A and B are shown apart, each in its own frame.
Chain A
Amino acid sequence: MAYLPSFILSDESKERITKILNLSQTVAHYGWLPFVLYLGWAHTSNRPNLFSLLSPLPSV
């Protein structure tokens, strides 16, 4: 097994890699918007509250 080239993978490994890729895509898919919001919150000096950051409606 150790002499086999590295690109030959067993079925279990392929399955595991597919699972990991799917999971990472799901995390990126749902995590992207919170991540953009976090960047905006963390880099604003007065740290606005979450509601004013989330709301698309004009603040009073």
Chain B
Amino acid sequence: MIDYMEHVLRSFEQCTGWDRDNSYENVTATSENLLNFRVPSGVKFQVSNKSTPNTFTTFELSNNKVINGSLAYLYTNCQGLENYVSTSRDILLQEASETYRQIRPLYPGHSLRNPGKAKGFEPSSLWYGRMYYPTSTLEAMLVSRSSAQTQFVAKCISSLANASVLTLYWQKDSGQNCQEWIASTNEGLLGYRILHNFVGSQSKLNTSLYNDSSLSVGGELWFGVLNTTPACSTTLRYCTHSANTGKPLTLTLSWNPLFGHVSSTYSVKTSSGATFSSKYDFNLYSIESNLSFGCDLWRRGNIKQSSPHGVKPPSGSNTNFPVSSKEENQRQPGSKEDSPMFYHLMAGSTSSQKLIEDLNVTFASSLQKLTKEKSTIQRFENSLIDANFASVWKFSTSLRHKNLRILWEGKYKGFLISAGAEFTGAPLELPSNLAGESKTPALLRPGKLGIQLQYST
């Protein structure tokens, strides 16, 4: 379950038109959400409050052997944020839970993925602080949006007893490229990350007129100045829809040349209530491999309630399926959003709009196929947006680690509840010869058990 402050941060990004999926950090977010979801440990209770339209407060108590607590405050000068931040009673479960990330493709002529926001961009910033008790460790963050394409983030963990870490991020997202420069006081780490989106172009292999697929390639370079250690990795991501059923699927391929690690994932949303993901890891040097599976199964609740604000959060990166059926109806016919998305046929053309109009008239019959494919995909997406899910079960397992993780997330009387357990086989910390001596069968035993309750107003 996403924490309240994380939800506010994502709402801030959504409100200011920042696409968090268009970043190398989140390039494998879908498979990570489905395979490596966080299982709560111990009992955790969190109560959050929006004290004014621009300030947010969270108090948290957790009991994991020792009672710990934290108090967090957040201030932002972003206008209109209250339309994006939902209380725990009103929030849709698919927005409160980490799940399949729908990637919107990039079309030529749309320099930004959220063009509506670019026109009325206003510089805004977000200030956040969280103090943990009884250790008195401070977690601080500053996010500043100076222009429509740039974002500056400063994160700090300050501890008077231990070493403090300050990390600075400078991010520039032009739609086609997202570049990040990172500097951290931890080992003097310097980093550079880039994610490039290919604009869809005409291909003989592409028999579908309606191109809703997205191909991205990214890489990262790191260098520790104090320990003179380099690191790097590169990833390819491909997202598309099945043309017949409109079901989205994502493939990624990652490669770490220094460690010789190759990892491939395949995630598919087989129906509006089920997602499956698999991951295969292989190391070229040690010939070790691992196969992981994960799935989430959603259960529908009652008929969807209307939003109390009367304003539905506009489409953005945070919502997993951002195009709302209501918004579709409200759009003016003939607007740019409604024009058929076959820009990939005319990549590089500047006067494409007139050509599109001519095409509409001349090839009306062939374009019917396009409309059919588009409507299939959008019908599937709309069924997800309108769905009022009540709970979700998540399972993941890994063959090498011989573990099973189960997580249940749901809404109950205005509370967001997340309960989970992790079962492991032989204890990983024992050496292999010792594990062999204990002749007990490798049964799964609970390694982690926890429940988390969230309430926010």
Binding site for B on A (CB under 8 A): 25-26, 28-29, 32-33, 35-37, 39-40, 43-44, 48, 52-59
Residues B128 and A53 in contact, CB atoms below 8 Å apart: no
Q: How far is the CA of A52 from the CA of B53 in the complex (A)?
A: 13
- Count how many pairs of residues, one from A and one from B, have CB atoms less than 8 Å apart in the complex: 70
Is B59 on the interface with A (CB-CB < 8 A)?
A: yes
Q: How far is the CA of A29 from the CA of B132 in the complex (A)?
A: 12
Least CB distance from A1 to B in Å reads: 31
Is B54 on the interface with A (CB-CB < 8 A)?
A: yes
Residues A33 and B127 in contact, CB atoms below 8 Å apart: no
User: Closest residue of chain B to A39, judged by CB?
Assistant: B75
Q: How far is the CA of A26 from the CA of B164 in the complex (A)?
A: 11
Instruction: Determine the chain B residues whose CB is within 8 A of the CB of A39 once the complex forms.
Output: 75, 127
Is B74 on the interface with A (CB-CB < 8 A)?
A: yes
Residues B129 and A53 in contact, CB atoms below 8 Å apart: no
Given A56-B47, A58-B457: A40 touches B128 (CB 8 Å cut-off): no
Is B57 on the interface with A (CB-CB < 8 A)?
A: yes
Is B222 on the interface with A (CB-CB < 8 A)?
A: no
Interface residues of B in 271-328 (CB under 8 A from A): none
Least CB distance from A55 to B in Å reads: 7
Instruction: Determine the chain B residues whose CB is within 8 A of the CB of A57 once the complex forms.
Output: 47, 49, 59
Q: How far is the CA of A59 from the CA of B50 in the complex (A)?
A: 9
Q: How far is the CA of A44 from the CA of B55 in the complex (A)?
A: 9
Interface residues of B in 154-183 (CB under 8 A from A): 158, 160, 164
Q: How far is the CA of A25 from the CA of B75 in the complex (A)?
A: 22
Q: How far is the CA of A56 from the CA of B55 in the complex (A)?
A: 11
Residues A36 and B129 in contact, CB atoms below 8 Å apart: yes
Residues A43 and B54 in contact, CB atoms below 8 Å apart: yes
Given A33-B73, A55-B57, A58-B457: A40 touches B52 (CB 8 Å cut-off): yes
Instruction: Determine the chain B residues whose CB is within 8 A of the CB of A54 once the complex forms.
Output: 57
Number of residues from B at the complex interface, CB < 8 A: 27
Q: How far is the CA of A54 from the CA of B75 in the complex (A)?
A: 12
Residues B129 and A56 in contact, CB atoms below 8 Å apart: no
Is B138 on the interface with A (CB-CB < 8 A)?
A: yes
Residues B164 and A25 in contact, CB atoms below 8 Å apart: yes
Q: How far is the CA of A35 from the CA of B75 in the complex (A)?
A: 10
Q: How far is the CA of A32 from the CA of B404 in the complex (A)?
A: 41
Instruction: Determine the chain A residues whose CB is within 8 A of the CB of B129 once the complex forms.
Output: 32-33, 35-36
Least CB distance from B221 to A in Å reads: 30
Least CB distance from B27 to A in Å reads: 32
Least CB distance from A38 to B in Å reads: 9
Chain A CB within 10 Å, residue with most, of B52, B129, B131, B140? B52
Q: How far is the CA of A59 from the CA of B87 in the complex (A)?
A: 14
Q: Give the residue of A29, A56, A58, A59 whose beta carbon is less than 8 angstroms from that of B158.
A: A29
18 contacts between A and B (CB under 8 A): A25-B164, A32-B138, A33-B138, A36-B73, A36-B74, A37-B55, A40-B52, A43-B77, A44-B52, A44-B53, A44-B55, A52-B51, A53-B52, A53-B57, A55-B49, A55-B51, A57-B47, A58-B47
Instruction: Determine the chain A residues whose CB is within 8 A of the CB of B57 once the complex forms.
Output: 53-56
Is B449 on the interface with A (CB-CB < 8 A)?
A: no
Given A53-B51, A57-B47: A26 touches B160 (CB 8 Å cut-off): yes
Q: How far is the CA of A55 from the CA of B57 in the complex (A)?
A: 7
